[in-house]
Structure 1
Amino acid sequence: MDTDTVDRYLARIGAPRPAAPDAAALRELHRRHLEAVPFENLSLHLGEPVSLDEDALVDKIVARRRGGFCYELNGAFAALLTALGYDVRMLAAGVFGGDGTLSPAFDHLALLVELDERYLVDVGFGAHSTYPLRRDWPEAQEDPAGSFLVLDAPGGDVDVLMNGVRQYRAEPRPRRITDFARPAWWHANSPESHFRSGPRCSRATESGRVTILGNRLLETAHGERTETALATDDEVLAAYEKHFGFALPRVPTC
């Protein structure tokens, strides 16, 4: 990622260029990314291809001001952090379901950043921690989004818990973005993928979260949640532009 692309990416998330690749700057970049770049699966419902090529990710997130799912968001953020001088590793992770079962590794892409401490970095898991999590901290880590625990798991893996509930299990082995191409294709194309069940778009805000699910607008501010039905296609498209800053060619459909 060249200097001009880095500057455009930083402008996209409203962040100044860090003076040094340190923990304070990482926290700020993490928060700003979550508030600017949505977790969304709209490409799957607009007939758009999903590519993990760096140029394609930059075009989608920076030039087109869109978002993506974990492989896209954390893949792009890893490229940005690397260009800023951070030591970044991509980790394969399995996701815990509501019944406690663990999906296969590579179902999720998370990041590990090594500074004076190791940090789990994740801007691609939807509603998750506002700030990076200390990888080797044995106690609860309080965050605006909740209380998080990072626990050792079998085989050198690590489990991430949010408010006492296991979210995902990450492997320690460093991976390449190309290692995630097949699972990304599966999630984008398989009828068994939950991302195919319907369009969704969500990002953090300073006071909570804003989400569009199909034709429903969900807003949470200071713990208070409101839901608005979007009655027409024009209302849906206007909501995307107002809350996420991009104009879609049409309403995403299942």
Structure 2
Amino acid sequence: MIDRNAVAAYLDRIGGEPPAVVDAAALRRLHRAHLTAVPFENLSIHLGEAVSLDPDALVDKLVRRHRGGFCYELNGAFALLLEALGCRVTRVAARVFDGDQLTPPFDHLALVARPVDGSGPWLVDVGFGRHSVYPLHFAERAEQHDPGGQFTLVERDHGDVDVLLNGTAQYRVERRERTLADFVPACWWHATSPDSHFRRGPVCSRLTADGRVSLSGRRLTVTGVGGRAEHDLAGDDDALVAYREHFGIDLAAPPAVAPGDRREARTSAA
């Protein structure tokens, strides 16, 4: 649980008004505000910084240092905020679809939230890169329309639920409640293993008012109502400016990028 000062600072960080009560409408506002203010990023891995899931470390990184993180950090911190505002939150593990294959357990952390108004339960996920702008009704099996696309939740064996975006499976959620500590080994693997895709190159991405802005390696991509524009940054100075202007991240030095590596890193836990 985080204290009142941390809650106020967190809400200020995401530009959200303190809700009188966290009902479904407030949850939607907070979800979108988080996605637009706090980027999905793996910069710590390429800056030589430790990745910690300790609650104080999460709040320090996202709120006080104005950074982002990947799924364990983003959803881990957002769960703390929602709980402090009176929402009941269940942390659930997910396996990500890589084509027709599923990645190992604990590859992704998602949340199931139950606001005080009795609505939901809602699948909350501010840590999967391109995903739903608003929470998805976790008990609804009809197609759910969202600015991020058409989402469908499908029952699977053992009570698991597949999350589909425009007909393509994204990840499979298990219903069992987990603690944040359960995800520490998987987080460590993603941060340290040479086989982790997060180690291929730095990526930073966030939702915008009409699209998304991403910096993958040294390639800046902006999408919106006007279409898609991308270009390669000339060097480190341009990268530092891009991190600051597009993501509010002020770095002393940019993360290293392998020469010639312009691949667009995946903005998910797998």
Give the drift of 1:117: 2.0
Contact 1:208 1:223 in 2 (8 A): no
Q: Can you list the C-alpha shifts for 1:99-145, whole angstroms capped at 9, x where unaligned?
A: 21011110000000123221100000001000000011111111111
1:57 corresponds to which residue? 58
Match of residue 68 from structure 1: 69
Count how many residue pairs are aligned between Structure 1 and Structure 2: 253
SS at match of 1:8: helix
Deviations 1:131-186 (A, max 9, x none): 00001111111111110001111100111000110000011000000000000000
* Alpha-carbon separation, structure 2, partners of 1:46 and 1:222: 33
Question: Could you tell me how far apart the structure 2 residues matched to 1:211 and 1:92 are?
Answer: 26
Gaps of 5+ in 1: none
Structure 1 counterpart of 2:251, from 234, 248, 254? 248
User: What's the counterpart of residue 113 of structure 2?
Assistant: 113
Amino acid at match of 2:77: A
User: Residue 53 of structure 2 aligns to a residue in which SS?
Assistant: coil
TM-score of the aligned structures, taking structure 1 as reference length: 0.98
User: Counterpart of 2:101 in 1: which secondary structure?
Assistant: coil
CA contact (8 A) 1:66 1:246 kept: yes
Aligned-residue offset at 1:224 = 0.4
Residue 156 of structure 2: aligned partner: 153
Could you say what the CA RMSD is over the residues aligned between the two structures, in angstroms? 0.8
The reply on whether 1:93 has 2:94 as its aligned counterpart is yes
Q: Deviations over 1:46-89 (max 9, x none)?
A: 00000000110011000110000000000000000000000100
* Counterpart check, 1:128 vs 2:131: yes
Pairs within 5 Å for 1:157-172? 157-172=160-175
Structure 1 residue 223: Cα displacement: 5.8
Matched residue type, 2:27: L
* CA distance in 1: counterparts of 2:141 and 2:240, whole angstroms: 45
Local SS of the residue matching 1:96: strand
Task: Measure, in 1, the Cα distance between the counterparts of 2:144 and 2:226.
Answer: 20
Structure 2 residue matching 1:72: 3-state secondary structure = helix
Corresponding residue for residue 80 of structure 1: 81
Match for residue 231 of structure 1? 234
Taking structure 2 as the reference length, the TM-score comes to 0.92
- Quickly say closer, same or farther: Cα 1:170–1:223, change in 2 above 3 A: farther
Residue in 1 aligned with 2:36? 35
Identity %: 58
* Structure 2 unpaired stretches of 5+: 258-270
- Is the 1:6–1:83 Cα contact (8 Å) retained in structure 2? yes
Moved over 3 A (4+): none
SS in 1 for 2:183: helix
Amino acid in structure 1 at the alignment position of 2:28: R
